[in-house]
């Protein structure tokens, strides 16, 4: 005689369950933040970018015979272009969200509680890692500025993000001066080595626009990362509370 | 060797590591694809986002 079925769905293994919880929290927090980040960028960053493109394309010339008005008609709203930007911003932030929640899960398994409030700190650390530290060497570029080879910059960018992220983990969870010493070296090393720089300055875009663009890009990034951290922490805490508590053997 | 009783944290640590690495890798893949791959179509579609997010673009 077969015993009566008491459970309709087969319980998932702890690892599968954990994977789906990380995926759910990370993707939802990331996509929601991505949408807000995209709106912030379209509102505050995109006009500066479009303005700079007028100089990149040669429609306007900086230091020509006459002074150029700082107020230009930037054309109508480009739906295809801007919707692609919304889509890709959501993808980028979904990626950030997954990485952030994966690390939150690892840290929680080591006994560190993660809440929305803690999440704010995680978001700040993510911002330092993925935006501010790389920007210290390679400021967010407006189109049409002079820059070194893109592959070299990508390698330096990735190396800086990896080193800074690892360093911040060591600052937060390392115990003692050995860990903190390594963290200091990791934070400084990419900038002591130095980011790849162009051989000459040949950008046609006015420095005022470049500076405004860098400030706007970093500012919008800071807002978005704060939100991402909050949301990721909140969703993760909510998922953790729903999960069965692992039983001590 | 003395048998160590498995703690709650220990039990969950083992079941967290691989899912976390997998999710981290997927997240990195998304960022790499939207932010850094230089293939022309991808570059053109993600152009504004790459500039606005501070990725090296071109």
Tell me, yes or no, if B12 comes closer than 8 A to chain A by beta carbon: yes
Chain B partners within 8 Å of A173 (Cβ): none
Domain-located, residue B40: yes
Q: CA-based angle B20:B28:A193, to the nearest 5?
A: 115
Q: Please, what are the averages of pLDDT over each run of 10 residues along chain B (58 residues)?
A: 45 80 97 91 92 90
Please give the pLDDT value at position A67: 84
Domain-located, residue B58: no
Q: What is the mean pLDDT of residues A157-176?
A: 97
Chain B partners within 8 Å of A108 (Cβ): 16
**In whole angstroms, what is the distance from residue B16 CA to residue A109 CA?**
7
DSSP letters for A173-241? H--SHHHHHHHHHHHHHHHHH-----SS----S-HHHHHHHHHHHHHHHHHHHHHHHHHHHHHHHHHHH
Domain-located, residue B35: yes
The tens digit of pLDDT for each residue in A36-51 reads: 999 999 999 999 999 9
Write out the residue range of the structural domain in which residue B30 sits. Answer: 12-53
**3-class DSSP state of B56:** coil
**In whole angstroms, what is the distance from residue A105 CA to residue A103 CA?**
5
Domain-located, residue B1: no
Please give the pLDDT value at position B2: 45
Q: Is residue A96 over pLDDT 90? A: yes
Domain count, chain B: 1
Question: Smallest CA–CA separation between B27 and chain A, in Å?
Answer: 4
- DSSP class of A131: I
**In 3D, which of B23, B48, B9 has the Cα closest to residue A49?**
B48
| Alpha helical stretches, state H, chain B | 8-35, 40-53
**Contact assessment for residue A163 and residue A214, using Cβ atoms and an 8 Å cutoff:** no
The tens digit of pLDDT for each residue in A115-144 reads: 999 999 999 999 999 999 999 999 999 988
The tens digit of pLDDT for each residue in A144-166 reads: 888 889 999 999 999 999 999 99
Domain-located, residue B5: no
List the single residue in B with minimal CA-CA distance to A94: B27
| ipTM of the prediction greater than 0.85, yes or no | yes
């Amino acid at each position: 005689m077969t015993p009566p079925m008491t459970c309709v769905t087969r319980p998932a293994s702890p690892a599968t369950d954990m994977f789906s919880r990380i995926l759910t929290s990370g993707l939802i927090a990331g996509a929601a933040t991505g949408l807000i980040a995209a709106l912030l960028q379209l509102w505050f960053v995109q006009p500066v970018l479009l303005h700079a493109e007028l100089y990149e394309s040669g429609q306007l010339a900086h230091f020509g015979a006459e002074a150029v008005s700082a107020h230009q008609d930037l054309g109508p709203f480009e739906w295809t272009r801007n919707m692609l930007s919304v889509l890709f911003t959501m993808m980028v932030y979904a990626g950030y969200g997954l990485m952030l929640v994966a690390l939150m899960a690892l840290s929680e398994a080591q006994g560190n509680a993660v809440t929305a409030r803690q999440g704010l700190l995680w978001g700040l650390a993510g911002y330092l890692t993925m935006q501010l530290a790389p920007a210290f060497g390679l400021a967010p570029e407006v189109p049409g500025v002079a820059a070194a080879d893109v592959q070299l910059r990508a390698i330096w960018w990735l190396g800086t993000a990896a080193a800074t992220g690892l360093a911040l983990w060591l600052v937060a969870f390392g115990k003692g001066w050995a860990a903190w010493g390594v963290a200091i070296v990791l934070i400084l090393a990419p900038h002591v080595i130095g980011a790849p720089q162009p051989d000459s300055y040949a950008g046609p875009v006015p420095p005022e626009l470049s500076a405004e663009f860098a400030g706007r890009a970093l500012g919008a990034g800071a807002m978005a990362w704060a939100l991402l951290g909050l949301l990721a922490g909140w969703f993760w805490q909510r998922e953790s509370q729903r999960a069965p508590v692992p039983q001590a053997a | 060797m003395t048998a160590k009783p498995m703690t709650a944290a220990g039990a969950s640590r083992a079941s967290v590591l691989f899912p976390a690495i997998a999710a981290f890798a997927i997240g990195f893949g998304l960022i790499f694809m939207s932010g850094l791959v230089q293939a022309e179509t991808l570059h053109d579609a993600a152009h504004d986002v790459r500039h606005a997010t501070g990725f090296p673009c071109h």
